Amino acid sequence: MKDKIINFFNDVVKEMKKVTWPTKEELKESTNIVIVVCLLLAAFTYAIDMTISQIFKGIF
C-alpha cells in the first residue's frame, strides 16, 4: 500500500513537470475574456427576463 501511494505522488510530480503554465499576459487576457463573456451573458439573461416579464404582465 505504501508503495502505491509513493508511486502515485511520483507520477503526480512527473505530470506536473509536463504542464505548460500560462504567462502573466496570457492569464490577464484570458481573465478579461471571461469577465466580458460573463457580463454579456448576464446582460442577455436580464434582457430575456425583462422581456418575458413584460409578456406575462400583458397576459395576466
12-41: pLDDT as tens digits = 999 999 999 999 999 999 999 999 999 999
pLDDT higher than 90, residue 58:
no
Could you tell me the pTM of the whole model? 0.66
| Residue linked to cell 478579461 | 32
Q: Is 27 helix (H, G, I), strand (E, B) or coil?
A: helix
pLDDT at position 7:
96
Range(s) of the domain holding residue 41: 21-60
- How many angstroms separate the CA atoms of 11 and 18, rounded? 11
Residue 13: inside a domain, yes or no? no
Instruction: Give yes or no for residue 60 having a pLDDT over 80.
Output: no
Q: Kindly state whether residue 10 falls inside one of the protein's structural domains.
A: no
Q: What is the total count of domains within the chain?
A: 1
Quick one: pLDDT at residue 9? 97
pLDDT per residue as tens digits for the range 4-14: 999 999 999 99
Helices (H), the chain: 2-18, 24-59
- CA atoms within 13 Å, Cβ hemisphere of 33: 6
